[in-house]
Chain A
Amino acid sequence: MTTIESVATPVMSAGRNVAAYVEEARAECLRYLRNPGFLLPTLLFPSVFYLMFGVLLGHANGPDAPRYLLASYGTFGVMAPGLFGFGVSLALERDTGLLTLKRALPMPPGAYLIGKMAMAVLVAAIVSAIMLCLAIFVAGVHLAAPRIAAFFLLEVLGVLPFAALGLLIATLIKGQGAPGVVNLVYLPMAFLSGLWFPLSIMPSAIQAIAPLWPAYHLDRLALGAVGLGTDAPWPHVAVLAGYTVVFVTLAMRRLRRHG
């Protein structure tokens, strides 16, 4: 056996290792940006909703409505790349054998998940940029530069808890069943977190359980970023970080056990 070792195991330089992660992320971004079935609904749903309710009908709801709805539809918009781009794609790839092939290949550990995360973050950045452009140039919302930067950064990072939730769902359900289940999480959560209608006009029971949903916390932070919230940000940040850690931990435990 020692003779085999002397045939020199090729060494992967640190540079090539980093390059492998970069290539994985690049390939993952390219493949989804070229997939209209994923990209169009992800970009169109929040922007069309915003144009309808925030711009066309917005001013009927008061002068702050376009700004308020930028926060809620922006939050709605970044949930999708996390849940669908990360969760559904992973669930499908566990079923089609792509994940098996990647595990057999000498892909660096974690490159697959980091690649998907990079893709979700990139799409979230595109969604947020579109929403900001619509708000500022179409709806005429006035936002100071620091507020724009804070909102953008918040929404881009805000994709992470939803990517973690998508990861967890994908480890529970694989294959064609996943898109349906993800929709059953995505749409009710958006509604119950007050992203479509303000929580203040909802029944008190729904208001009471709203803090259970990650989307509620991201929305409160987004409202603060656009200057409409009075909540202290750190409790919401802590809840979102906590959810992310719990989802990832549960998912990893399942992946280790079931592959």
Chain B
Amino acid sequence: MNQDTCIARLAGVRKRYGNIVALDGIDLDIHRGELVALLGPNGAGKSTSIALLLGLHRADAGAVTLFGRDPQDIAARRRIGVMLQSAVLPDTLRVAELLRLTASYYPEPRAIAECAAITGVDDLMTRRYGALSGGQQRRVQFAMAIVGRPEILFLDEPTVGMDIDARQSLWAAIRQMLKERCAVVLTTHYLEEAEALADRVCVIAKGRVVSQGSVDALRAHVALRRIRCVTALDAADVARWPRVVSVDVQQGRLTVATADAEGVVRRLLDADPSLAELEVRRAGLAEAFQEITRESAAVQEAA
């Protein structure tokens, strides 16, 4: 990647809170116009990474830069938009007033009406924030994040508590930002969210990036496929077959994990002519993610 498209960077960053190591030499580059999803278990260091890039805390070691500057420099932050997971906004302010206030912090903000149209909050403008539903409040927070025409958007768990329709309309708005060459850094627990949006997925565990790449590359990282079927075969027998990684029985359904789905399916059909409801699926991001965090834990234990 070209140096000049990198707009936010963590380089060898360490951060500890008391005895807890939050970041252990993390490296992360964000480039113009891309969407990077940060995935990882709670306490892995996702939120700390974002807090450092926002200038909320200082790193103990390593370099944190935003547009080549210190994130605590307000000129750098005038080019960002933020949606934090936990912020409780003033209940008694109207939506239009919140947008107007946030817009006032930026040199060349978007028109409030345009911003409301992109995020679908136009019908909420005169309502008080406290009177909105959780999903509506998240939409308003997103509108506040984009009102300053940011070049990079930090979204910390943006769709928590949203129903599926609200989530998809927020995804559409995020895609529109990407079209405007705005970079997006997203943390999420919803793997389908990363699958739907991300150019690049970074899996963070124990304060480091343990894997990064496209969603497809990440999924390919786990070569396993899952075979599910209803069969009379004994699970313990199947588990002893070659190239079978694990076997599980739930509610009369057998689930076999294997790297050689074709071979195992052939043998299953031969062994049980009455086998029914056969299903073969590639592992999703969820499995890939579990696999990677498990591997990295094993590597660390071995080391």
Q: Decide: B67 and A4 in contact? CB cutoff 8 A.
A: yes
B82: chain A residues within 8 A (beta carbon): 101, 104-105
B18: min CB distance to chain A, Å: 13
Question: Cβ of B89: which chain A residues have Cβ within 8 Å of it?
Answer: 98, 101
Residue of B nearest to A9 (CB): B75
With A27-B101, A30-B93 as contacts: A106 and B67 at CB distance below 8 Å: no
Chain A stretch 1-25: residues in CB contact (< 8 A) with chain B:
1, 3-5, 9-13, 16, 19-20, 22-24
- In the bound complex, do residue B84 and residue A107 qualify as a contact, i.e. CB atoms below 8 Å apart? no
Check if B171 is an interface residue, CB within 8 A of chain A. Answer: no
B48 within 8 A of A: no
Q: Is A257 an interface residue (CB 8 A)?
A: no
Decide if A97 touches B88 in the complex (CB within 8 Å).
yes
Contact B107 A10 (CB under 8 A): yes
- Determine the distance from Cα of A206 to Cα of B14 in the docked complex, in whole angstroms: 55
Residue among A24, A100, A109 having the largest count of chain B Cβ atoms under 10 Å: A100
CA of A27 to CA of B98, assembled, Å: 8
- Quote the shortest CB–CB distance from A111 to chain B (angstroms): 8
Within 8 Å CB of A103, what residues of B?
A: 54-56
Closest to B53 in A: A104
B interface residues, tally (CB under 8 Å): 40
With A4-B4, A9-B75 as contacts: A24 and B68 at CB distance below 8 Å: no
- Please, which residue of chain B has its CB at the minimum distance from the CB of A99? B87
Which residue in chain A gives the minimum CB-CB distance to B76? A9
In the complex the two chains form, is B105's CB within 8 Å of A108's CB? yes
B74 interface residue (CB < 8 Å to A): yes
Q: What residue in chain A is nearest B89 (Cβ atoms)?
A: A98
Q: Which residues of B contact A12 (CB under 8 A)?
A: 75, 78, 106-107
**Interface residues of chain A: helix, strand, loop or mixed (majority):** helix
A196-240 CB mask vs B (1 if < 8 Å, else 0) is 000000000000000000000000000000000000000000000
Among A4, A35, A105, contact of B68 (Cβ-Cβ < 8 Å): A4
Judge whether B79 and A104 touch: CB under 8 Å: no
For residue B17, give the distance in angstroms from its CB to the closest CB of chain A. Answer: 12
Task: Please tell me if the beta carbons of B105 and A107 are within 8 angstroms of each other in the complex.
Answer: yes
Is A96 an interface residue when CB atoms closer than 8 A count as contact? yes
B242 at the interface (CB under 8 A from A): no
**Mask of B68-106 contacts with A, CB within 8 angstroms, 1/0:** 100000111111101010111111110001101110111
CA distance A259 to B101 in the complex (A): 23
Question: Closest Cβ of chain B: how far from A9's Cβ, in Å?
Answer: 5
Query: Of the candidates A9, A26, A30, which one forms a contact with B79 in the assembled complex, judged by CB atoms under 8 Å apart?
Result: A9
Q: Return 20 A-B CB contacts under 8 Å, by A number.
A: A4-B7, A4-B67, A4-B68, A9-B76, A10-B108, A20-B104, A27-B90, A27-B98, A34-B92, A35-B91, A97-B87, A100-B87, A101-B84, A103-B54, A103-B56, A104-B80, A106-B78, A106-B105, A109-B74, A259-B57
Given contacts A23-B101, A259-B56, list 20 more A-B pairs with CB under 8 A. Answer: A1-B68, A4-B4, A5-B68, A9-B67, A10-B79, A10-B108, A12-B107, A26-B101, A27-B101, A31-B90, A96-B87, A97-B86, A98-B88, A100-B84, A101-B82, A101-B87, A104-B80, A104-B154, A106-B74, A106-B105
